[in-house]
Structure 1
Amino acid sequence: MAGMVEQVGPPGRDDITAYAAERTGGASVRVGALAPLTRPGWVQAGRHLLAGMELAVSEVNDGGGIAGRPLELVVRDTAADPRRAGAAVEELAGLGVAALAGEYHSVVARAAARAHALGLPFLCSSAVLDALTEEPTDRVARLSPPQSHGWQVYADFLLRAGHERIALATEPSVYWASGAGILREYVAPRGGTVIELDARALTPAGLCDELAGHRASALLLLAGHPEPAVSIVRSVRRDPRLAEVTIGAPAGQPEFAEWATLLGDEGTAIPFLRYLPERLSPLGARVEAALRARLAHPPSFVAFEGYDTIAVLADALRAGGAGRTRPAADWSRVTVEGTRGRIRFSRTPGISVWQWTGAPVQVVDRDPSEPGRFRVLHGG
């Protein structure tokens, strides 16, 4: 069977549902998929996330679907807007989807996690904010590692590299503020100093002046992509006073092809976090090849997260039933071979949702001698 995907807008919805019913003799099992597909959302991340989901849906349906019923994605664009995500959750619940999946931006995923109040299971693909829900819930699970873990791995990398004075170019955001707090709490007891510079109040040139004055050896981009992050990188790279300063991007801005297109050589040697193992399993290698063909370029870790999301949901829906009169996902019983390792969920101190604790964490950068190649610098 082909994968069933209802696109963002209304055209084609009835045709797709009718096709699914004709192929199987029954209605499709619908999963609401949330992703940033337009600005100001991180569009490339959204496209990679959706590509991974679509590939997995196609494979699930080729394998017989969910108890003989095809799996169908009902896609909604969040555009990195929490209010838009909240409205999409209400709409998708009204459409009778069996579960929600996806999202890349943490503040948006936090809004989407209100699905649990509607009795709707939500598997968060990529958002890392620790406080994904205000209260503990059994209906929400997450694949990506919590920010407190990944960003501590990044801080450890910086300290091991000898960076004791670390500057942050920050914008106002719950996500950036959380990241800054994690870095500060990890670095300070180990003899380091974190300096925050307001990327909205300062021009890129003014930020360079502040950076030089503070004698920081590293500048981390806790700011939006492409702007102001791209302009900041250009200014720092071209300032002779800052020739020895390491630029870092823990949130992963250099992961996507757009970064290399916009910055060229200036975008290399900027360490960032990604969630891939050192070596892909046979499943991961097969999925990587299929995603590369779909995207026409190498898939990011976000595409693998999308694939794993649907693989996990399919397993949970088969086990728990696709109806919404009872929980459709018992996260405690899930065990699935994903592209990046075996996926099981557990309760983690300080995390309010079911969490996969086995997600690999790497610090990587783009190789200056070959910008299309990534170098693994650190793991945790």
Structure 2
Amino acid sequence: MTWVAHLVRTMDGRKGAQLDLAAPGSWSIPLNGIEDFSVATSKTQLRQLERAWWSHMRTSVAVSWQHEDGTLDAWVAGPVMGPPAESETTATLACRGIGAVFEKRVVLAQEPVASPNDPQTALMKSVVSLTGMSLGTIAQEVVKHAVAKVGGTLPIVYGTPRETGATLNRRNYEGFNLSNNGAWKRLTELTKVRNGPDIMFRPRWTDDGTHLEWVMVNGTAAQPQIAQDWTMDLDTTSTRSPISKVDVKTDAARIANRVYWTGAGEGAGILARVVQDLSRLDDQMPLLEVVGSTSDSENGDLIRTHAEAELAAARAPVTQISVKIDGADPRCQIGHWHVGDAANLTMGDDWLTVPKGTTPKRIIAAKGNWTSATVDLEFQDDGPIDYEDEEVA
């Protein structure tokens, strides 16, 4: 079992040459973020290829975990972000996940008029109106609008069923709000509201192995976390465990019991919401207030959900458990689990801030390198969702 890298054409996913990994490279996958990785190969190999096959954005790199039977599990994939960094004999391609493309896409209801002198009146008045959908389905619509452009094609498939209904959510993205309509910005906003869905783009090879596609998976209205079909069990107390290192860090900087959140407007007309949990003032705990903003939103419900999400995150110190595993071990093999999954983590009585026993924890990040199967995992608890809220007059 080992890592294998291939060049891939970004717009249609066509597989190109396999790269000879000539030097160490690293990878990292954050939950609801954009993957970051690099691969190094010989300059001789790149010289044998057409430049279009290793050029900025036109080409992506897909790195897969190759099993003993030769099958490939695509692990991380995304566009080359610029010209290679060179040494005397090697060239290093810096890459990011497919979300890097969505950072350079704008969500609009129509294409602009192809004239630099046109005032784009129709575009400025247009609205992408998404009503009666779960937040995850709204996220899918954001992606569909981002790729439905001239030159916008990407091999994206949708791995989570759509959810619609009159009691679900709505979002309006006005054409005049160009600076705030970045596709990745809108996706990130959806993940950060109360009960916002996790969103990931996971690469996979087509059945015939000739093309790569990115599967967009997201949480649902009932379960904001992405569905999984296998649960990893890790026991930090066992000497026979695939774990080689455990570390615990706790951060209380975010704790608060009242949150102010503002939206669009000026002066005394600024839209605002306040959510609070006064039960947190028990036992001589002082009042702790924080302020946040979504300055482009005129939606009071949306402003409140951002405040609620912040209040949930501010309920208690954040405890992050770092675990180093052997990703070649069948109990935690690369490809069987994903960032965003819940895993059963057993802890001993060594820690002051983590209780002894087995509890489900969410994988919020993973990182490693191409020289080994060792993976560093980061775990956190899922947050609570109880609130009291009031509107500021």
TM bracket (short chain): under 0.3
More strand by share: 2
* Higher CA-based Rg: 2
TM-score normalised to the size of structure 1? 0.26
TM-score normalised to the size of structure 2? 0.25
Bigger RCO (CA 8 Å, 6+ sep):
1
